[in-house]
Amino acid sequence: MARLELFFPKSHGKPRVDDRRVLSGIILINRNGLRWRDAPATYGPHKTLYNRGKRWSDKGIFARMMAGLAVEHGEKQTVMIPSHRNCVSTAGQWTPPT
């Protein structure tokens, strides 16, 4: 998480919900194909998870995180895997581009 903290936007105004907890909730939702509303309360309010996930995605923060982690390990290319819900039903049929 220490490597990822560099990518989180700075807080402005009132204190924010913990970025690490929110990121864990976003990962849980995407990994398990859950609705935002179904996230356990331990990750914070579902509306916060949705808003922060949407805002970070729109600003390219997730892409920068992945690229930054790949560079640290000497990777020359980042492979993106679609994460929208339609892929859940076809997960066994999808193959990565070559």
For residue 72, tell me if it sits in a domain: yes
In angstroms, the CA 14 to CA 68 distance is 28
- Check residue 31 and report its DSSP letter: H
For residue 47, tell me if it sits in a domain: yes
Confidence of residue 62 (pLDDT cuts 50, 70, 90): confident
For residue 10, tell me if it sits in a domain: no
Confidence of residue 49 (pLDDT cuts 50, 70, 90): very high
The residue segments making up the domain with residue 37 are 19-82
With b for 16 or more beta-carbon neighbours within 10 A and e for fewer, the 44-82 pattern comes to bebebbbebbeebeeeebbeebeeeeeeeeeeeeeeeee
85 and 33 Cβ atoms separated by less than 8 Å: yes
Question: The pTM is what?
Answer: 0.66
Q: How many domains does the chain have?
A: 1
**pLDDT of 74-97, one tens digit each?**
656 655 655 554 444 444 555 555
**pLDDT of 19-40, one tens digit each?**
889 999 999 999 999 999 999 9
